[in-house]
Amino acid sequence: MTSDSCPKHTLVSHVAVLHHNSALLVKYREMPDGQKGWFLPNDDLKHVEHPEEGAKRILREQVGIEPSTLKLAEIESFVGNNKSWHLVFDFLAFPLSMKITKAPSLLDAQWFEIDKLPPASEFAHQGWGHSALLKLAKAQF
């Protein structure tokens, strides 16, 4: 996560990477909020970084993917555990292949068929990524 974060606001790009009927999930080595489990690739935006550029950076840096198609699907807003206001830009990414290059910041990165995802209990943030992924994927299939 970025070091130039504001204590009152958190801007995040969150990417559901879909390839046919599969989705890419990641596990981070360390998260500032101590969360463990599966996530959709995500990161705080850097100062003045456009959310779409942030989504591209996340995919490139974390899993070595250049999406052939990237589109904004939804914007979410909530107050996080640290009491900062979170604005999350949910993107859908469609790469040409399933080849990934895992960054050192990741413990794991795997493709899962949408109907064979790990249970919500294995996702960080009480299954938030699981429900977000199913909602975003449903809109596509």
Count structural domains, the chain. 1
Q: What integer pLDDT is reported at residue 31 of this predicted model?
A: 79
Q: Which domain holds residue 93?
A: 9-140
Residue 56 lies in a domain: yes
Q: What integer pLDDT is reported at residue 48 of this predicted model?
A: 93
Residue 2 lies in a domain: no
Residue 1 lies in a domain: no
Residue 77 lies in a domain: yes
What CATH number has the domain bearing residue 92?
Answer: 3.90.79.10
Give pLDDT tens digits along the chain (141 positions): 444 556 678 899 999 999 999 999 999 998 777 889 999 999 999 999 999 999 999 999 999 999 899 999 999 898 876 777 889 999 999 999 999 999 999 999 999 999 999 999 999 988 989 999 998 888 765
pTM: 0.89
Residue 4 lies in a domain: no
Residue 16's CB is within 10 A of a number of other CB atoms, namely 25
Residue 104 lies in a domain: yes
Residue 127 lies in a domain: yes
Which residues have C-beta within 8 Å of that of residue 34, sequence separation ≥ 6?
none
Residue 3 lies in a domain: no
Q: What integer pLDDT is reported at residue 2 of this predicted model?
A: 44
